[in-house]
A and B are shown apart, each in its own frame.
Chain A
Amino acid sequence: MRVVIADDSLLIRDGLASLLRDADVDVVAQTGSPDDLLLKVASYRPDVAIVDVRMPPTHTDEGLRAAEEIRRRYPDVGILILSQHVEIGIATRLLSESADGIGYLLKDRVTDLDDFIAALRRVAEGGSALDPQIVSQLLTKGRGADDPVNLLTPREREVIELIAEGRSNKGIGERLVITERAVQKHVTSIFLKLGLQQSDDDHRRILAVLAYIRP
């Protein structure tokens, strides 16, 4: 798996690169500026571009705009947005077109390296990775009393959060230490309760869930 890292903090960039190389990920390029990122993506065509939201010159959303530009020019390049803090607004903006090959994670998820690599791999393969914090914010945010989400059992809530994060049934099963069959049972029940179309396809499934829980 080939990745490009864009972050204006040399510390983070180097740290992340070292970690990823340790995990046998091929870091083909690093950069600290959005323009340079576009150049690097153009020349290396990585599987994933890891992009910090805040980049020079104004340190507001330059990284995000660069990511959108990459998505427009090179739709096959996965994008993993990293940020110090996650915001629903940015998640909505990112996922407004499609969730394919899009990830949005807090920077500190990096320290749970296995999980981070898994997420990176999902994005590289055209799947999604959404930070659990975003998912739980989406799930708890302003839900009315008659919202079917309230009908979900605690276990089903755990499952739907993991679906929204972009995990497959296998991943969910590993995470919750249950069998894939048990996961599938929960998924069926959830989709039934929320009135969603069943699908075996992982990221059509996550899109359905996201579309449902998105504000």
Chain B
Amino acid sequence: MSSAFSRRSLLLASLWLTAAAAEWAALRPVILQEHVRPEVVLYHVVGGSFAACGLLAWHRRPQSRTGPLMVVTGLLFFVHGTLGRLHSSFAETIGIAVSNYWVITFAALLIWFPGGRRRWAASERLVIGAFVVAEVVLVLAWMPFAEVPRNLALVWPNPQVASAIDKAASSLGFAASVCLAIVLVRRLLTATRPVRRASAPAAAGALTLLFLGALILQGVFTSAQSPFLVWPTLVGLVLVPVVFLAGVWRTWVARAAVGDLLVDLGSMSGRPLQAALAKALGDPTLTLAYWLPQFGSYADSDGQKLELPADDGTRLLASVEQDGERVAAIVYDASLAEERKLLDAVVAAAGIALKNERLGAELRARVGELSASRARIVGAGDEERRRLERNLHDGAQQRLVALGMQLRLLGPRIRTDPEAAEALVAAATAELATSVDELRELAHGIHPAVLDHGLAIALESLAARSTVATAVSVDLLERLPESVEVAAYFVASEALANVAKHAEASAVQITVSRGVKGALVEVADDGVGGADDACGSGLRGLADRVEALGGQLRISSPIGTGTTISAVIPCAS
């Protein structure tokens, strides 16, 4: 990585030196003249402009071909003049041969820009081919006939043939420029907005190339050069590299938008998130596709299934991953492909937002579960109170009223009818005993008083009342917090009730111990199994009670091998 980096720095440094030297060599004789002609100065600045702007663009965007293409164009522009200054016929001959190669790389730059495409269209290849024929093939064909100084390739001096070839070459070059302009205009018309905006430098370049073609054509056919063609051409050639550099620079400005994006994202999700991403990337066609692992497909923010576009080179896809798992994809315009860093930043930002969204969704799910559980607890409380009221109303209260009546009946009979009075007293005493029993049972249901003596004793008495043989094993060094004891007691009590009702068991084992996570209560029977908390409201209520204390209730009930209900209840002390 670092060696690649330093090699590139070295390359760029040497290119800077080369371009500077070439520019100085080209410009020095022009500006040292007595009468400095501005159009001549402009012409000699073209190569430097291309090279310098190209190098700056290269610095900024090492992955992009825009910079290198501009540098090559600039250096090729220098070649003829520099080789000519060597006063060697051989060098001059080569210089003549390659003098217009820069036009080809310039055209390639215009077609390529703003980059990101992987394939060239047939029309584009045809245009480049035309330029190659005009500036390479026809020049090579022209040289054997052209009587120009120090042309070693001159074989059959023939001005007519040379002129004809020259005319053909410049006509072809102009035609290629027109075709290039048409290709670019057509692309602009069909392009997405970001591409259109990014293509502005290419349009300026194509216009310049048209002027250049016309200028050459005029020179070849009329031996004159109209200032209306010269000036726009020269100004265009000098400024187009600057415009290209500005185009490259703009994406740097765009990258700052990612910062804003990160600030905005917050808890953004769905459509606003997609819009924010589109804004940051300057691509209104951007689509955020959510990956649905359970369906193995993508969906848009409304949950509609989304077919990702085929890889036709106009739409590209960046995968958003979290912890190595695909969570979403961003489908974007191919013109953004060279904005690697910008894309990475936006994808990372999307990842953050999606993570927020997922955490939010998880939180919402938990809150939902919590309120459901709370509602069940409140409901269970109400139901319990109703049951108590009904029990009191139908039981103790009725009996006491009846008792009052019996005593009332008894009063006048004590003297007049002692036998009847005795019978009434006996009946009233029995009634009273029943009432006391009922009240005791009821109070026990509200809060097991037996817990006052510790969980072990409470569980023992629970076991003693159970219809199935129940063994209790409590392994605790000290007493548990009261709420945990009550929860543990009810876990055991409800589990035993279930055993009696459903399990057809012959033995039950209740185990209580203290673990790392808190108190562990386990009730295991050897019955038929097949219990689950979805079908029993008692078990669901138990789970709520345990979860309310931050614990967990697990039911393992394979059919045929008995049921084990285990609760882990944290003991915050």
Interface residues of A (CB under 8 A from B): 9, 11-12, 15-16, 18-19, 22, 54, 59, 84, 107-108, 110-111, 113
Residues on B with beta carbons closer than 8 Å to the beta carbon of A11 = 398-399, 402, 431
Q: Could you tell me the distance in whole angstroms from the C-beta of B369 to the nearest C-beta in chain A?
A: 34
A84-B393, A84-B397 known; A12-B407 Cβ under 8 A? no
**A19:B405 contact, CB within 8 angstroms:** yes
Q: Could you tell me the distance in whole angstroms from the C-beta of A47 to the nearest C-beta in chain B?
A: 21
* A84, B397: Cα distance in complex, Å: 8
User: Quick one: which of B390, B406, B408 contacts A59, CB cutoff 8 A?
Assistant: B390
For B399, B400, B408, which residue has the most chain A Cβ atoms within 10 angstroms? B408
**B394:A18 contact, CB within 8 angstroms:** no
* A42, B254: Cα distance in complex, Å: 93
**A111:B393 contact, CB within 8 angstroms:** no
A12-B402, A15-B402, A59-B390 known; A111-B397 Cβ under 8 A? no
Residues on B with beta carbons closer than 8 Å to the beta carbon of A107 = 401
Q: Which residue of A lies closest to B397 (CB)?
A: A84
Residues on B with beta carbons closer than 8 Å to the beta carbon of A108 = 400-401, 404
**B409:A111 contact, CB within 8 angstroms:** no
Q: Could you tell me the distance in whole angstroms from the C-beta of A8 to the nearest C-beta in chain B?
A: 9
Q: Which residue of B lies closest to A9 (CB)?
A: B398
Q: Could you tell me the distance in whole angstroms from the C-beta of A15 to the nearest C-beta in chain B?
A: 3
B379 adjacent to chain A (CB < 8 Å): no
Residues on B with beta carbons closer than 8 Å to the beta carbon of A16 = 405
**B401:A12 contact, CB within 8 angstroms:** yes
**B398:A110 contact, CB within 8 angstroms:** no
Q: Could you tell me the distance in whole angstroms from the C-beta of A113 to the nearest C-beta in chain B?
A: 6
Residues on A with beta carbons closer than 8 Å to the beta carbon of B407 = 111
Chain A contact residues: over half helix, strand or loop, or mixed?
A: helix
User: Quick one: which of A9, A12, A54, A113 contacts B408, CB cutoff 8 A?
Assistant: A113
B157 adjacent to chain A (CB < 8 Å): no
4 closest Cβ contacts across the A-B interface? A15-B405, A111-B404, A11-B402, A15-B402
Contact with A along B385-401 (1 / 0, CB 8 A): 00000100110011111
For A19, A54, A111, which residue has the most chain B Cβ atoms within 10 angstroms? A111
Residues on A with beta carbons closer than 8 Å to the beta carbon of B397 = 84
**B405:A18 contact, CB within 8 angstroms:** yes
* A22, B406: Cα distance in complex, Å: 12
Q: Could you tell me the distance in whole angstroms from the C-beta of A59 to the nearest C-beta in chain B?
A: 7
Known: A12-B401, A19-B409, A111-B404. 12 other contacts (CB 8 A): A9-B398, A12-B398, A12-B405, A84-B397, A84-B398, A108-B400, A108-B404, A110-B408, A111-B401, A111-B405, A111-B407, A111-B408
Residues on A with beta carbons closer than 8 Å to the beta carbon of B431 = 11
Q: Could you tell me the distance in whole angstroms from the C-beta of B409 to the nearest C-beta in chain A?
A: 5
B38 adjacent to chain A (CB < 8 Å): no
Residues on A with beta carbons closer than 8 Å to the beta carbon of B401 = 12, 15, 84, 107-108, 110-111
Q: Could you tell me the distance in whole angstroms from the C-beta of B564 to the nearest C-beta in chain A?
A: 39
**A110:B405 contact, CB within 8 angstroms:** yes
**B404:A18 contact, CB within 8 angstroms:** no
B454 adjacent to chain A (CB < 8 Å): no
Residues on A with beta carbons closer than 8 Å to the beta carbon of B404 = 108, 110-111
Q: Could you tell me the distance in whole angstroms from the C-beta of A160 to the nearest C-beta in chain B?
A: 28
User: Quick one: which of A15, A18, A19, A54 contacts B393, CB cutoff 8 A?
Assistant: A54
Contact with A along B410-444 (1 / 0, CB 8 A): 00100000000000000000010000000000000
Residues on B with beta carbons closer than 8 Å to the beta carbon of A59 = 390
Q: Could you tell me the distance in whole angstroms from the C-beta of B530 to the nearest C-beta in chain A?
A: 34
Q: Could you tell me the distance in whole angstroms from the C-beta of A58 to the nearest C-beta in chain B?
A: 11
Q: Which residue of B lies closest to A16 (CB)?
A: B405
* A12, B393: Cα distance in complex, Å: 12
Q: Could you tell me the distance in whole angstroms from the C-beta of A63 to the nearest C-beta in chain B?
A: 13
Residues on A with beta carbons closer than 8 Å to the beta carbon of B399 = 11
* A15, B393: Cα distance in complex, Å: 17
Residues on B with beta carbons closer than 8 Å to the beta carbon of A9 = 394, 398, 402
For B390, B402, B405, B407, which residue has the most chain A Cβ atoms within 10 angstroms? B405
Q: Which residue of A lies closest to B404 (CB)?
A: A111
Q: Which residue of A lies closest to B405 (CB)?
A: A15
Q: Could you tell me the distance in whole angstroms from the C-beta of A114 to the nearest C-beta in chain B?
A: 10
**B409:A18 contact, CB within 8 angstroms:** yes
A54-B393, A84-B397, A111-B407 known; A22-B412 Cβ under 8 A? yes
Q: Which residue of A lies closest to B406 (CB)?
A: A15
Q: List 13 A-B contacts (CB under 8 A).
A: A9-B394, A11-B402, A12-B401, A12-B405, A15-B401, A15-B406, A18-B405, A19-B409, A22-B409, A59-B390, A108-B400, A110-B401, A113-B408
* A9, B406: Cα distance in complex, Å: 15
* A15, B403: Cα distance in complex, Å: 8
**A19:B408 contact, CB within 8 angstroms:** yes
* A214, B492: Cα distance in complex, Å: 51
* A110, B402: Cα distance in complex, Å: 9
For B393, B398, B406, which residue has the most chain A Cβ atoms within 10 angstroms? B398
Residues on A with beta carbons closer than 8 Å to the beta carbon of B412 = 22
Residues on A with beta carbons closer than 8 Å to the beta carbon of B400 = 108
Q: Could you tell me the distance in whole angstroms from the C-beta of B73 to the nearest C-beta in chain A?
A: 95
Q: Could you tell me the distance in whole angstroms from the C-beta of A139 to the nearest C-beta in chain B?
A: 26
Q: Could you tell me the distance in whole angstroms from the C-beta of A16 to the nearest C-beta in chain B?
A: 6
* A11, B428: Cα distance in complex, Å: 11
* A54, B393: Cα distance in complex, Å: 10
* A84, B399: Cα distance in complex, Å: 11
Q: Could you tell me the distance in whole angstroms from the C-beta of B418 to the nearest C-beta in chain A?
A: 16
Q: Which residue of A lies closest to B394 (CB)?
A: A9
Residues on A with beta carbons closer than 8 Å to the beta carbon of B408 = 19, 110-111, 113
Q: Which residue of A lies closest to B393 (CB)?
A: A84
Q: Which residue of A lies closest to B398 (CB)?
A: A9
Q: Which residue of B lies closest to A20 (CB)?
A: B405
* A167, B477: Cα distance in complex, Å: 68
Residues on B with beta carbons closer than 8 Å to the beta carbon of A84 = 393, 397-398, 401
* A18, B412: Cα distance in complex, Å: 13
Q: Could you tell me the distance in whole angstroms from the C-beta of B391 to the nearest C-beta in chain A?
A: 12
Q: Which residue of B lies closest to A7 (CB)?
A: B398
Q: Which residue of A lies closest to B431 (CB)?
A: A11
* A59, B390: Cα distance in complex, Å: 9
* A183, B97: Cα distance in complex, Å: 138
